[in-house]
Copies of this chain bind each other. A is one copy, B any other.
Amino acid sequence: MPYTYEYPRPAVTVDCVVLGFDPSERDLKVLLIKRLSEPYKNQWALPGGFVDMDESLETAALRELEEETGVANIFLEQLYTFGTPNRDPRGRVISVAYYALISLGSKTIRAASDAKDVQWFSINHLPALAFDHSLILASALQRLRGKVRYVPIGFELLPDYFALSQLQQLYETILETTLDKRNFRKKILRMDVLKETDNYQQGVAHRAARLYRFDEQKYEQLVKEGFSFEL
């Protein structure tokens, strides 16, 4: 036990809430791992772990996420820091939570170090979670709902090429509402941040929808000119 300090110190961890959208089930999913070790052994939890002394918080989150789930190269945003004194039975542990939005099909997940298993769970059918991870997840969903109307983050949950109806379903799922198809199309197309492509849906048992892409550069430029996304 070589590390000694004049005053006691809490341990610091990071946890990651990785959310995905499943268009076929119109469902938001979260990536969970089954814990290999105590405490909460064999229970489902958010991927995460201890912060090393020479890495930034975000680096720690990315590292733990890759180590435990195989998911790499994604954009994490800091969510909130959870530090209630008794949130971890091992002692005082302060956890900095991050969240990410990814297209469900875009990454392959695999169980790795410290995880027995990795799985996507619908946020409507969750197992009991370790620690205060339900609280962290709830906080991520709240952030998503608050943000999705003012920032075009919904696109991160869809594949690069998507149909307008998928985008609409995504918004309907996140905001727990229904939207008028014609008005939705008018509004989003008028914003001029989508690129129409010549690709169409494949293998659907009905008329194939035209696919669109989010035009990030156009969006950035419009923002500079004072445009503000609002849905």
Contact = CB atoms under 8 A, between A and B. Distances in A.
* Dominant secondary structure at the A interface: loop
Interface stretch (A53-61, A120-128, A183-191, A216-224): A53-61
How many copies of this chain sit in the oligomeric assembly?
A: 2
A71 to B, nearest CB: 21
Contacts of A7: 3, 50
A6 B90 CA distance: 13
A213 to B, nearest CB: 27
A1 B1 contact: no
A6 to B, nearest CB: 5
Contacts of A54: 85, 92
B6 A53 contact: no
A42 interface: no
A6 B2 CA distance: 6
Interface of A: 1-12, 50-51, 53-57, 78, 80-81, 83-85, 92, 94, 96, 150
